[in-house]
A and B are shown apart, each in its own frame.
Chain A
Amino acid sequence: MEFKLTKEQELIQKTARDFADRSIEPAIDHIMKEHAIPQEILDGMKELDLFCLPISEAYGGAGAGYQSYVLALEQIASVSPGVAIVISVNCFGLAALEMFGSEEVKKRYMPGACTGKNIMSIAMTEPEGADPRLVKTTAVREGDEYVLNGTKRFITACGYEGPLVIFARESDTGQICGFVVEKFCEGYSISEPWDKMGLPGTPMYDVYLKDVRIPVGNMLGELNQGFRILKNSIALGKIGISSIFLGTILAAYEECMKYAGERIYLGKPLTQFQYVQGDIVDIAMKYEAARWLAYRLGYLADMNEDKGNIIKDSALTKMFVTNTAVEVARSAINIHGSYGLMENYKVSRIWRDSIFGPQTEGTNALLRSVVAMDILKRSK
């Protein structure tokens, strides 16, 4: 066991934090008001390789692995979880291409999303729900092409150009498979953005595919491999979400330390009161617990070629980190008194953002059942 960052990991962590502090922080008001990330922030992150950390260099990625990815996302999310979500969806999509795409697909789509202007999206959720068994979108084989039709809900980054990995039911096998579609191709359209209450910067839309035609080669993996792709994808998304809400916890902790040190109450700073000390320590302690689970998940992802092997660990980590983020946000507000409810204070934002964790990438209720089934299967 070795609970220590390598020099490279420390460097990436610091690079991400510096960028977030210097370039994202000053733009936070803009991001909140416009509900959009300024282009120069996206460009800046691409230049620093922060958009493709775990992706191999062969296709334009940084080749830095998932541990570094977790560290970087945490830091960026501590300033703006909205920005971090875009990175995580992009890396999620890239990883799916890297693992299951044909050489041609990888060469065509990956470099643009690593360092170019493109951003990837992933579309699983539908109006009926996020469970893959509910997928109604169809991909009908017609000669050398697939014809896709369907509606996808709550899709991140689908307003940017770039490839979209979409899960649909393949006509010959009846299985759920992943297909690569170029956003804004013929037949692609999106709804008005949803009015979501937190995570500003990443508008979500519904995506409509109407007779979208793609070459057969744009199907990921072989026929009948859909299940493997799904399992890998389930784990991949949770690495991103775990890192992002770890960043939320970190932000809450930092805000409380600052506030409790500055705020004078009955003639002394809040830090002199034992109940405030207790709250701060609870946050610090929960951060430690969440942190090492999240870093471990990065480690497991680096060690497992087949990310399907880490579904259980990714699910329990995601549950733990996101539940903890909500608890921590609660006590952070508490320390701030009524000031915490004012938008001048970052904790008000943290409160709104934190609740997104348990609800996305599989609700925590659903994930508990994933973890339990795995345990029960093994204990037989």
Chain B
Amino acid sequence: MEFKLTKEQQLIQSVARDYAEKAIAPLIEEIVEKNEVPDEIIDGLKDLDLFALPISDEYGGAGAGYASYVLAEEQLSRICPGVAVIVSVNNVGAAAMSIFGTEEQKKKYLPMGTTGSGVFSFAFTEPGTGSDPKQITATADRDGDYYVLNATKRFITNSSYEGPIIVFARDTETGHINGYIVDKFCEGYSISEPWKKMGVRGAPLYDVYLKDVKIPKDNILGGPGQGFWILKVAMALGKIGISSIFLGAMLAAYEEGLTYATAKTHRGAPIAKFQAIQMAIADMFMKYEAARWMAYRIGYLADNAQDKGDILKDSAAAKIFITETAIDVARIALNIHGSYGLMEDYKISRVWKDVIFGSQVEGVSHLLKVLIAGEILKG
């Protein structure tokens, strides 16, 4: 066992932290207000190789692995979870393609999400379900050398950016669920008005409509019938992103709570002198430490797993623990702020709106528990 960051990991962590503080933090009001991240931030992340850390350098990624990815996402999210969500979904799509794509697909599409001008999307959720692949209603009709796709996909991140979107749909001939690669904004692709979401601002969500979208028959990811496997891998990796992001939100909450406790005075002394406040500080820190090592560990596990689907149980357990703990910690930090914490002048009010997203995305906590139980009981 070795609970220490390598030099490279420390470097990546500090590059991400610096970038977040210097380039993202000054724009945060604007990001929150418009629910949009300025393009220069995406470009900046790409320049620093922070946009596709775990993707192989052969295709423009940083080839730095998932342990580094967790560290960087934590730091980005500490300042702006929205930016970190954009990065995370990009990496889920890109990783699915790295793992399951043909050489041709990878050469064509991966650079868009690593160094080029696109961002990956990954579209699973539909109005009817966000949890159960069996209920997918999107269809792919084989038509000679093409598939014709029809779908409504809900809550899709990055769907307003150019680049590839991996769409899960049912092959009407075989009944299989497959992932299909579509170029966003091709003919037949359109998106709704953005959803008015209360937190994680900067990463807007849209519904995506595919109306008779025609793609070459080779734009299927992996072999036919591999859709479930791809979903399992993507779920495992997606949870690494979400875990890191809400670890970052937790860190932000902790720091805000601590800063307020030392700055706010009562009768001439900081409120941190009260034991009740000290307990709150210690609890936040303790919870952060527990969450932190769970998150770092799933990065490590992903780096060492042949089949990333194998870490699903661990990444799901970490995801539940971290996202629920982020809510606990934000609650404590808000408490330290008294009524000021409810005012938008204080960052903790924003963190409060953000933290509740963790437990609702990438598998709702209690559903994930059912899934992990299945894995545990299998032995």
Contact = CB atoms under 8 A, between A and B. Distances in A.
Nearest to A378: B258
Interface string B205-244: 0000000000000000000000000000000000000000
A278 B377 CA distance: 12
Interface stretch (B19-27, B108-116, B364-372): B364-372
Nearest to A373: B278
A300 B3 contact: yes
A319 B279 CA distance: 12
A11 B311 CA distance: 24
B86 interface: no
Contacts of B287: 320
B43 interface: no
B272 interface: yes
Interface stretch (A54-62, A224-232, A291-299, A335-343): A291-299
B189 interface: no
A85 B209 CA distance: 63
Interface in B327-379: 366, 368-370, 372-374, 376-377
A1 B3 contact: yes
Interface string B306-339: 0000000010011011000000000000000000
A36 B317 CA distance: 39
Contacts of B299: 1
A280 B376 contact: yes
Contacts of A2: 1-2, 300
Contacts of A367: 282
B312 to A, nearest CB: 13
A369 to B, nearest CB: 5
Interface string B67-92: 10000000000000000000000000
Contact of B289 (A288, A293, A372, A379): A293
A316 B285 contact: yes
A285 B320 contact: yes
Contacts of A380: 262
Given A280-B373, A293-B293, A296-B293, A5 B1 contact: yes
Contacts of A281: 317, 320, 368-369, 372-373, 376
B1 A295 contact: yes
A292 B369 contact: no
Contacts of A280: 373, 376
B11 interface: no
B107 to A, nearest CB: 32
B297 A292 contact: yes
Given A9-B1, A288-B321, A290-B290, A1 B262 contact: no
A269 to B, nearest CB: 9
A185 interface: no
- The dominant DSSP class at the A interface is helix
B294 interface: yes
A278 B373 contact: yes
Given A1-B67, A2-B300, A284-B317, A371 B286 contact: yes
A298 B368 CA distance: 31
Contacts of A376: 261-262, 272, 278, 281
A258 to B, nearest CB: 12
Contacts of B321: 285-286, 288-289
A240 B374 CA distance: 34
Contact of A4 (B1, B278, B290): B1
Given A1-B2, A277-B373, A369 B300 contact: no
Nearest to A293: B290
B5 interface: yes
A274 B371 CA distance: 10
B281 A289 contact: no
A372 B286 CA distance: 10
Nearest to A5: B1
Given A1-B3, A278-B369, A379 B258 contact: yes
Given A67-B1, A281-B376, A368-B282, A289 B369 contact: no
Interface in A318-343: 319-320
B6 interface: yes
Interface string A342-380: 000000000000000000000001011111110110011
B286 A296 contact: no
Contacts of B376: 257, 280-281, 284
Contacts of B294: 288-289, 292
B283 interface: yes
A116 to B, nearest CB: 31
A290 B301 CA distance: 18
Interface in A179-218: none
Contacts of B297: 1, 3, 292
Given A1-B296, A293-B290, A371 B373 contact: no
Contacts of B67: 1
B233 to A, nearest CB: 20
A25 interface: no
Contact of A371 (B5, B282, B314, B377): B282
Nearest to B319: A285
A278 B372 CA distance: 9
A274 B1 contact: no
A376 B336 CA distance: 15
19 contacts: A1-B3, A3-B296, A3-B300, A4-B304, A281-B317, A284-B372, A284-B376, A293-B289, A296-B3, A316-B282, A316-B289, A320-B290, A365-B279, A368-B278, A368-B279, A369-B275, A375-B281, A376-B262, A376-B278
Interface of A: 1-6, 9, 67, 257, 261, 271, 274, 277-278, 280-282, 284-286, 288-290, 292-293, 295-296, 298-300, 313, 316-317, 319-320, 365, 367-373, 375-376, 379-380
Q: Across chains A and B, which 8 residue pairs bring their CB atoms closest together, nearest first?
A: A277-B373, A372-B278, A2-B2, A368-B282, A371-B282, A281-B369, A316-B286, A372-B282
Given A1-B9, A296-B3, A319-B286, 17 more contacts: A1-B5, A4-B1, A274-B370, A277-B369, A281-B320, A284-B372, A289-B291, A289-B293, A290-B290, A293-B289, A295-B1, A316-B289, A371-B282, A371-B286, A372-B282, A373-B278, A379-B258
